[in-house]
Chains A and B, each alone.
Chain A
Amino acid sequence: MEAELHEALRRCPADYAEVRWEELERSRVAFQRDQLMTLERSREAGGIVRALVGGAWGIAVFTDPDEISRKLSEATQLARAATRKVRDPIRLAEVAPVQDRYLPELGVDFREVPLEEKRKLAEAYNRLILNFAPEIISSSVRYTDALRHVIYANTEGTYLEQAIPDVTVLLLAVARRNGDIQQAFESIGEAGGYEIAQNLEERAEAAARRAVDLLSAKPVKGGRYTVVLDQELAGVFIHEAFGHICEADFLLKNEPMRKVMQLGRRFGVEQLNVVEDGYIPGRRGNAPYDDEGVPRRKVYLIKEGVLSGLMHSRATAAKTGMEPTGNARAVSWEHEPIVRMRNTYIEPGEASFEELISGIDHGIYARGAFGGQTEFEQFTFSAAYAYEIKGGELGEMLRDVVLTGNVFDTLRNIEAIGNDFQLKGGAGGCGKGGQAPLPVTDGAPHVRVRDVIIGGR
């Protein structure tokens, strides 16, 4: 395909153009209670071309590989329709052309594992959940694997082939007592082989046990609390609430927000360091290059409490006079790359967990994440479950804990950072601009934050 792509690009009249062709091999097994909802192993292929003409993009998505040349012309035409209206043309930061191939090690190659075995694995987890207790009325167990093979070429001479594996398992239990329904889940996601999905029996039972426990948990009382976030929830917080506003694409034509996000501005305590790590082999969605063919770099978003970097595509880097960071990612061949996170985390501090909760007279220990959303400075995210903190000690289990706030206030309100760092890739993913779920990894140690608003009845 390499020669064909170069030839098609050579003939493209656009100022700049690129082609990405992807082939996906994947399996899915999904049980809901006793029903096998999905059992599939299949392949798909599709492509996208992007052409830059006079500072505006034309894009064409297609599924017929014989159409590459025609789609490059189409994208060029579409860009021309926009070009006439452009006053502030898009430019691309320079990067050195690369030619490279990347094939990760898979451990147990999931493509060699029979579909039947995957079914049995998921079914066994499902049975563990359903048989755990009489209160368990339903379940959802999902196994997925995928190898995304990406071929990328552009008019500057870059040619890349990258294969990105992804294995996820979702273990969800639903419990009911009287009219009350509660659910709990464990979610696993790594870029590796089949071994990632194996030996998760304890996690399945943990999900079931927690769903039953939540039936007896107290609904949280809404109000303002000092909250200790566990590693997972602190990771979701830093991704959702802060990570997204460090994606430079939304600053591109947004003068006021660029002023807010000035490098050098203090956002938190001295001990706070936030990292956007480009390439950690084995973590979800990781590969050496992004979907613009740019090497993925490590960036400190916050260093010692001060804003020190942002995430860039080639266009946002050119606009702001920064270096591209390799953050341009597409969820699939159906989409163009946009500025996205990769591995986002709060670096560990020095406090032990006991130190974090001691001294909290009346607070909340919030654990796990149901999800989160952010709208610039406003964020909200749901803890999967929580505990009261009373007189510096953990108390009763709580539920319905939804945290909300203003990210700038909340970062300032981080009082203490734990020493027990963890990175976690879940079975879900990140959504932005209609592109979801993008595999990402978040991480953090335990973190203590004062003045967090908790919604509740």
Chain B
Amino acid sequence: MGILERATQAAESAELYEELRNTVDVTFRGGEIEKVGSREILGRALRVIADGRLGFASTAGEDEEGLLQAALASARHGDPAPFKFPKLSPGEKVEVLDEEVLGISPDELISWGEEAVQAIREEFPDVIVDASLSRGTLKVRITNTSGGELTEERSHLSMGIEAQWIREGDIYLLWVGRTVRRRVDLVPEELIAETLKYLRWGEHVVPAPQGKPPVLFTPKGTVVLFLPLMVGFSGLSVVMGTSPLKGRIGEQAFDQKFTLVDEGRLPYGPSSRSFDDEGVPTSRLPLAEEGVVKNFFFDLRAAALADADPTGSGIRGGMLGGGGFRTPPSPSMRNIVIKPGQGSLDELIAEMGDGIVVVDVLGLGQGNVQSGAFSNNVGVGFVVKDGKVKGRLKNTMIAGNVYQVLKDGLVAIGGEPEWVYGLAHVPPILVEGVSVVSR
């Protein structure tokens, strides 16, 4: 007898989530291969509704009986379930599996890492290069007692390069990386070129302009701006009353140039999937269109509490993907897409006159994220004078509030979006009203 069937002897309904994670990864340290690893991890989570109460349990490995008893025990002391498990219907599939990724051997991953090490060392012999490469699949299966079964196999391929340039009195640390679903979307040469460009720009340290100069966030740097929005547009934050966007649907909360879409179904998008971790079909969900708040994103629970429809945003493992099967679903964005405007990064730099470029910050997510406040040490950033990059900045903090900056301080959105952090497709963004303080 299957675990769902056994569950229904003591519960009205039940849902089983299973994931099998298979990865191969290689790690270079100091320009040299250090380790090759494989992971084969089976994780499962069971939710039950018994006497109207919701129970949850998770486990790694095979222990079915333990999982069932743990979920039933949780339900006995749980709260009334605000939602029912949806009927699962396959619907239209999103392309998320590239068979070619499965065939990539450890040797091939190693050769990409070597290529990066060699290319960087050739121009910068003193730079220490660490690199990590990983390929794999995640097989997900969801079944519940409302009927139906959903399965999907998703591939992923990632490469990261970390360059350390250490000189007396100065350490320059740079990280460039990409996560994709398709082999053709990972071009090691692009990552190498990006690394080299920022190393060249960063050779000399120069003083940063103080006060409130224009600040240009590169695609990677825009995480400073979109991280608070991942919280603010969450249906759960709205239900809990902690989102500054609560009750503001239809309101011009951002600059007209700003359009933000939660894209669940982009073919081969790194966070795309046909259905969320509760079996709800994903969607293309505009959150802000031309600055007007349009939608929030919901999992089953938040949707039930807000009397809204679930948007296929119930993700296990939370905002930044940790935890996986061990964590009950919560509302989370799929692919974060900011509508591009015009102009490359270099063109925006030429137009901005004097200011700074922010590529990477320290202390992301620290502080009062819910309110939109950010205050970060610039990890990798550059000084621009007369439209030209003059060098790297150091010991500099940026601070502001995302909701203010994207409403009153949005100068331009660039035209060449890039995938960053395996979850966002974003162009460079030029803003003003951010305070810059250096020592």
Binding site for B on A (CB under 8 A): 32-33, 35-46, 56-65, 74-75, 78-79, 81-82, 85-88, 90, 115-116, 119, 137-138, 174, 176, 179-183, 222-224, 252-254, 256-257, 260, 334, 336, 370-382, 399-400, 402, 404-406, 436, 451, 453-457
Contact = CB atoms under 8 A, between A and B. Distances in A.
B35, B173, B379, B400 interface centre (most CB from chain A within 10 Å): B35
B435 A456 contact: yes
Given A183-B368, A253-B31, A455 B395 contact: no
Given A36-B79, A115-B74, A182 B371 contact: yes
Given A39-B77, A41-B70, A222-B397, A137 B439 contact: no
A61, A380, A382, A455 interface centre (most CB from chain B within 10 Å): A455
Query: B interface, how many residues as a size bin?
Result: 35 or more
A138 B36 contact: no
B60 A36 contact: no
A74 B22 CA distance: 14
Contacts of B43: 63
B399 A400 contact: yes
B42, B56, B58, B367 interface centre (most CB from chain A within 10 Å): B367
B399 A380 contact: no
A224 B66 CA distance: 57
B60 A256 contact: no
Contacts of B435: 222, 455-457
A35 B35 CA distance: 44
B41 A62 contact: yes
Contacts of A254: 30, 128, 164, 166
B373 A64 contact: no
B242 to A, nearest CB: 5
A341 B128 CA distance: 24
B66, B166, B365 interface centre (most CB from chain A within 10 Å): B166
A37 B236 CA distance: 11
A104 B79 CA distance: 34
Contacts of A456: 375, 397, 399, 435, 437
Interface string B288-312: 0000000000000100010000000
27 contacts: A32-B240, A36-B79, A38-B327, A42-B57, A42-B58, A44-B63, A45-B63, A58-B36, A59-B38, A60-B39, A64-B42, A78-B36, A79-B36, A81-B105, A82-B36, A87-B32, A176-B241, A182-B368, A222-B397, A253-B29, A373-B377, A376-B166, A400-B373, A402-B397, A454-B397, A455-B398, A455-B437
B371 A78 contact: no
A380 B376 contact: yes
Contacts of B344: none
Contacts of A38: 56, 327-328
Nearest to A24: B60
A103 B279 CA distance: 42
Given A86-B33, A138-B242, A40 B439 contact: no
B33 A82 contact: yes
A382 B59 contact: no
Contact of B61 (A45, A75, A85, A457): A45
B203 to A, nearest CB: 15
Contacts of B171: 257, 375-378
B397 A404 contact: yes
Contacts of B151: none
B107 interface: yes
A257 B244 contact: no
Nearest to A453: B439
A372 B242 CA distance: 23
Interface in B388-420: 394-395, 397-401
Interface string B51-78: 0000111111111001100100110111
Given A46-B41, A81-B106, A402 B242 contact: no
B400 A42 contact: no
Given A222-B435, A253-B128, A404 B63 contact: no
